[in-house]
Amino acid sequence: MTIPAASVGPTAPTTVPVTLYTTVDSPVGELLLTGDGTALASLSVPGQRGGATVLPGWRREPAAFTEALRQLGEYFAGDRRTFDLPLAPVGSDFRQRVWNALDDVPYGATVSYRGLAEAAGSPGAVRAIGGAVGSNPLLVIRPCHRVIGADGSLTGYSGGLERKRTLLALEGVL
């Protein structure tokens, strides 16, 4: 029996990426930031529906998030209206499109789910838009708190309506 040359010899070691994380206090509670040291993958709060939780093997590395922490501090101080960070959220093409559309909702403004559906190029998919908004892994950074009900009501925030209220008040909407 002949063994193909490609399967003979040692195999190259595989590298498993390590998730880095840090936490920081904020006006909406403790924030958990995760990433790979290059891009921010998630920003979540305790009790967030679908939010990240620290897993075994993750490494606390505050220095990897220096710029994100600086920009968040400026935002909460009222000195920053947009974020300029490399982002690496994981999601389907549809969710990525919705999350990108969130970036276009200006500071101090709101949009309805229907309006966001139109902006994301899926005007007939309001319910699916709601699901994508609810699974946004980058709270605050990707401003899903700016999405409201058609009647102007505060609805559907995975971090909790009180946090949504706090963020909208900070931005002068409420």
Kindly state the helix (H) or strand (E) to which residue 50 belongs, with its residue range.
Answer: none
pLDDT value at residue 18 = 82
- For residue range 60-70, what is the model confidence (pLDDT) as tens digits? 999 999 999 99
Q: Give me the catalytic one of 41, 111, 119, 144.
A: 144
pLDDT value at residue 7 = 45
Residues 35-64 have a mean pLDDT of 93
- For residue range 53-106, what is the model confidence (pLDDT) as tens digits? 999 999 999 999 999 999 999 999 999 999 999 999 999 999 999 999 999 999
Residues 35-60 have a mean pLDDT of 93
Kindly state the helix (H) or strand (E) to which residue 74 belongs, with its residue range.
Answer: helix 66-76
Residue 144 annotated as catalytic: yes
Question: Is the dihedral angle over the CA atoms 44, 74, 89, 158 positive or is it negative?
Answer: positive
131 with 144: CB under 8 angstroms?
Answer: no
pLDDT value at residue 6 = 45
- For residue range 108-136, what is the model confidence (pLDDT) as tens digits? 999 999 999 999 999 888 899 999 999 99
Burial of 15 (0-12, 13-18, 19+ CB in 10 A): exposed
Q: Residue 159: which of 136, 127, 131 has the closest Cα?
A: 136
Which H, E and C letters describe 101-167, residue by residue? HHCCCCCCCCEEHHHHHHHCCCCCCHHHHHHHHHCCCECCCCCHHHEECCCCCCCCCCCCHHHHHHH
